[in-house]
Amino acid sequence: MSESSALISAFVHGIAAGFTLITAVALLRSRLSRDVRVAGVLFALSVVGWLVNESAPLWRAFGEPYLVYLSACGVAGMFWLFVLAVFADMKVNALTLAPAAILLASGLAMGNLPPPGPDLIWTARNLSSALLALHAGSVILRGWSGDLVEGRRRFRALLLGLACLFVLLEVGVAFTFRLTQDPVWLQLVVGRTYGGLIMAVLSLALAALMLRPDPAVFGAARKAVSGPDGRAEAADRQLLARLETVMAAEGWRREGLTIGDLARELDVPEHRLRRLINQRLGHRNFADFVNGHRIEAAKRRLADPAEARTTVAVIAFDLGYGSLGPFNRAFRAATGATPTEWRRQALNGASPNPGEAA
């Protein structure tokens, strides 16, 4: 690498690392949930380590620090954890830190094994990173249409369109170079100028977003306070009444119901219905809104001794769930117990014959 190229690389990677550290500081000072803050800071520190580790000028300037190499090893796992903490309310614990820990351990093992061990671990690490990025992208995509928070929908676009794809690009470039030995591909890896430039743009965009992290994007939804516009209030009340009429008629029972379907039925723009359910009813996503109605109906049926012999699966399908898994997860999230456990407790209190709960 020429002296001018080295200077440009150090400058670009230094910018990316600096903006990433700004993001970490902004997260630490924010009032976001503990899990989002912890996951975000861990991810930011891993990115800084990755940038320094992949940039030869910065690596030498910092004296080839071993701790930086360690922090870089788990970057894909930390990215996955951050995405799921934001979009799936995942807790930061030993289990959710396991992917990053495994990547870190495998990174340590690469330098201490005889051939072909390092090559096998390199392949496994890159495939694992790609799978984690794909899963993070699927989590973002899965909730896209039902997300009622407009700010978070934009944040999804940023993460999905840029960060997830960049991780996949890095993995693809690494494998392509191994197969073809074409040095042109190396210009896109994060350690080279173009890859570093992409990282700098990503880091700048993320830092700009995090400097004023909106609790509505990362935290729980809050019901809006009525404003001074009487006509808007009246229109919202009318729409709420129509929405409640549809839901009281068990509109929530339809399998595959989407907010677009409901907006067309109510003959209102989809964005207005999103805002109404989010700000007036306090739901962060459409699935939570629909599941609230379904879970209440499920509890009534599970507590009914007359339905003690109706299987949980039949109840789930009757309530509009396409399979038993999503119903079980939604029920546990709402009640803290599985449908079977909840039924047993309810029937033990309501029926003299506990055996009917089986």
pLDDT beyond 60 at 51: yes
Residue 230's pLDDT is what? 59
Q: Do domains 3-218 and 244-357 have the same CATH topology?
A: no
Region 234-242: what's the mean pLDDT? 86
pLDDT digits (tens, 9 = 90+) for 183-199: 777 777 887 778 888 88
Asked if 21 contacts 42 with a C-beta cutoff of 8 angstroms, the reply is no
Coil, helix or strand at residue 251: helix
Give CA 92 to chain center in angstroms.
Answer: 13
Closest CA to 334 of 295, 289, 277: 295
Domain residue spans in the chain? 3-218, 244-357
Residue 45: pLDDT band with limits 50, 70, 90 = very high
Of the given ranges (124-138, 173-187, 293-307), which has the lowest mean pLDDT?
173-187
Per CATH, domain 3-218 is 1.20.1070: yes
CB-facing half-sphere around the CA of 338: CA atoms within 13 A: 7
Residue 215's pLDDT is what? 55
Of the given ranges (157-166, 225-234, 257-266, 299-308), which has the lowest mean pLDDT?
225-234
CA distance 116 to 76: 23
What is the full DSSP assignment across 76-126? HHHHHHHHHHHHS----STTTTHHHHHHHHHHHHHTTS-TTHHHHHHHHHH
CA distance 338 to 349: 17
pTM recorded for the entire structure: 0.70
pLDDT beyond 60 at 220: no
More confident residue, 213 or 125: 125
pLDDT beyond 50 at 83: yes
Angle, CA 248 vertex, CA 244 and CA 250 arms, to 5°: 125
CATH topology of domain 244-357: Arc Repressor Mutant, subunit A (1.10.10)
Q: What percent of the chain has pLDDT over 70?
A: 89
Region 150-178: what's the mean pLDDT? 80
pLDDT beyond 70 at 2: no
- The burial class, CB within 10 Å (0-12 / 13-18 / 19+), for 2 is exposed
From its phi and psi, is residue 181 left (phi > 0), alpha (psi between -120 and 50) or beta? left
Q: Which residues pair with 344 in a beta bridge?
A: none
pLDDT digits (tens, 9 = 90+) for 93-122: 999 999 999 999 998 888 778 888 889 999
CA distance 38 to 40: 5
- The continuous run of DSSP H or E covering 192 comes out as none
More confident residue, 210 or 188: 188
CA distance 311 to 358: 9
Asked if 83 contacts 140 with a C-beta cutoff of 8 angstroms, the reply is yes
Region 302-310: what's the mean pLDDT? 90
Residue 189's pLDDT is what? 81
Residue 130's pLDDT is what? 93
